[in-house]
Amino acid sequence: MKPITLTLPYPLSANRYWRPVKLGTHISIVPTKEAKQFRTEIGWLVKKAGITTPMPGRVQIDVRLYPNRPQDWQKRQRLHGAIWDDTVMCIDLDNANKVLLDALKGVAIEDDKWVRRIVAERMEPDEKGARVVLTITPLGVAQPQAGLFGEAA
């Protein structure tokens, strides 16, 4: 299988993706309505890209996160030079990865347990707007995990 590159919408923050729900004495963490909408949108974009089944087995995920470029970006660039983009509000890379992997699970990748390598980078905002450019690269075919004595689990 060849690597797949997708351009996806900017992810929700993890705080907006999950919410706690009290069930009697137990608290469960469940996806929010926004999260379900985000997952649905990701599913449609994956299908539009021609992906009909999740990539099987081990994968590498490369994430390039582009925050929204503010209207005053040129002023920020004059004031702060090459590090102007550090003044731009952006989701944390680790939160973005968690939300993206959850949305891709079962649609573009079989399961996030098969992700063996993640390369994430916050990019400089540009004229194309807030987005994620994500590449999924196969690393090998899934092998059934054996039990302690070699039997299939």
Report the alpha-carbon distance of residue 114 to residue 59 in Å, rounded. Answer: 6
Q: How far is CA 62 from the centre of its chain?
A: 9
Q: Domain extents for the chain?
A: 4-138
Q: Determine the 3-state secondary structure of 33 from DSSP.
A: helix
Pure H helices in the chain:
14-17, 33-48, 73-80, 93-104
Tell me how crowded residue 79 is: count the other CB atoms within 10 A of its CB: 10
pLDDT band at 87 (very low <50, low <70, confident <90, very high): confident
> Does domain 4-138 correspond to CATH entry 3.90.45.10?
no
Q: What local confidence, expressed as pLDDT, does residue 15 receive?
A: 86
Average pLDDT over residues 74-89: 88
Give the model confidence (pLDDT) of 14-53 as tens digits: 888 989 998 889 999 999 999 999 999 999 999 999 999 9
pTM of the model: 0.81
